[in-house]
Structure 1
Amino acid sequence: MSQYIIKTGKDAMHLEEVKALLEQSYWANTRDIETIKKSIDYSLCYGAFLKETDKQIGFARVVTDYATLYYICDVIVDESYRGIGIGKALLDTIHSNKEVCSLKGILATNDAHELYRKYGFQEGGSIYMGKASK
């Protein structure tokens, strides 16, 4: 039996634990708590939690218009729990969400390409552009 469960919805997320998870990332390690709260409020959120203690050990969110496009972002698993399928479980849950699974999906990553390929994502080549936040 698995030692963790996946929960969905912003109300299920533990804000301070999400902040601690994001501090382990290369993309959001300086994000302040107010920004994290706002991002959770306006996203579809997914969390991995230890069954025994309800400690949050993984997080992912999806930004979408529910009509044409969704963007997967902030996928993170606590360093102590990596390599046991938690990231895959988060993506399985996102991929099975009927609200977004038929839409075009995008994401940006410096790593985990093999994981995302399993869900149909491909490198975008030179068609994608980005603008950094201020």
Structure 2
Amino acid sequence: MKNGEYFISKDKALLQTETIHQFLSRSYWANRRTLAQVQASIENSICYGVYHGTRQIGFARIITDWATMYYLCDVFIDEEYRGQGIGRRLVDLIVQSEELDGLTGVLGTKDAHGLYESFGFVRDPDRFMKRRPTNPWA
């Protein structure tokens, strides 16, 4: 998908793994992931890269069973490019995709509830649980 000077692609060959890892290492949700973990997560997921020319400025990852649900995660837009609607376009492209049609979408966020609610996601704090690995830094 092209939109002026920015474009979004699912082509994993375009992904700049080091850029993705650098951003995630500054995030609150993935700051302890190793480069190898980021690479493995990309290999095993549907990935969307956002580009300004040849520079990767955004990313999102989908984990799915292709039958009942998908998990939207690792969504980011580089700080320098925020406020231009690029992240909104990325999420819209994902939730409107034919391949995810009919599947329940879930995600976790600490600070972007309004964005995701505008796409039909609803808060459900009483229902979801998580289990962390016993040794997340191994």
Q: Same fold (TM over 0.5)?
A: yes
State the shift of 1:48 in Å: 0.6
State the shift of 1:75 in Å: 0.4
State the shift of 1:114 in Å: 0.8
- Counterpart position of 1:124: 124
Unaligned stretches of 5+ residues in structure 2:
none
Residue deviations 1:74-112 (CA, integer Å, cap 9, x gap): 001111111111111111111122111320010011011
Structure 2 CA distance for partners of 1:77 and 1:5, relative to 1, 3 Å: same
What is the alpha-carbon distance in structure 1 between the residues aligned to residue 96 and residue 115 of structure 2?
16
- Counterpart position of 1:103: 103
What is the alpha-carbon distance in structure 1 between the residues aligned to residue 23 and residue 51 of structure 2?
12
What is the alpha-carbon distance in structure 1 between the residues aligned to residue 120 and residue 101 of structure 2?
11
Q: TM-score, normalised by structure 2?
A: 0.89
Moved over 4 A (4+): none
Residue deviations 1:54-86 (CA, integer Å, cap 9, x gap): 110000000000100000000011111111111
What is the alpha-carbon distance in structure 2 between the residues aligned to residue 24 and residue 79 of structure 1?
11
- Counterpart position of 2:47: 45
Provide the aligned length of Structure 1 versus Structure 2.
132
- Counterpart position of 1:21: 23
Does structure 1 residue 64 correspond to structure 2 residue 64? yes
What is the alpha-carbon distance in structure 1 between the residues aligned to residue 11 and residue 95 of structure 2?
15
Q: 30, 34, 37: which is aligned to 2:36?
A: 34
Q: Say which SS state the counterpart of residue 100 (structure 2) adopts.
A: coil
What is the alpha-carbon distance in structure 2 between the residues aligned to residue 39 and residue 132 of structure 1?
16
CA RMSD of aligned residues (A): 1.3
State the shift of 1:39 in Å: 0.2
State the shift of 1:8 in Å: 0.9
What is the alpha-carbon distance in structure 2 between the residues aligned to residue 42 and residue 65 of structure 1?
12
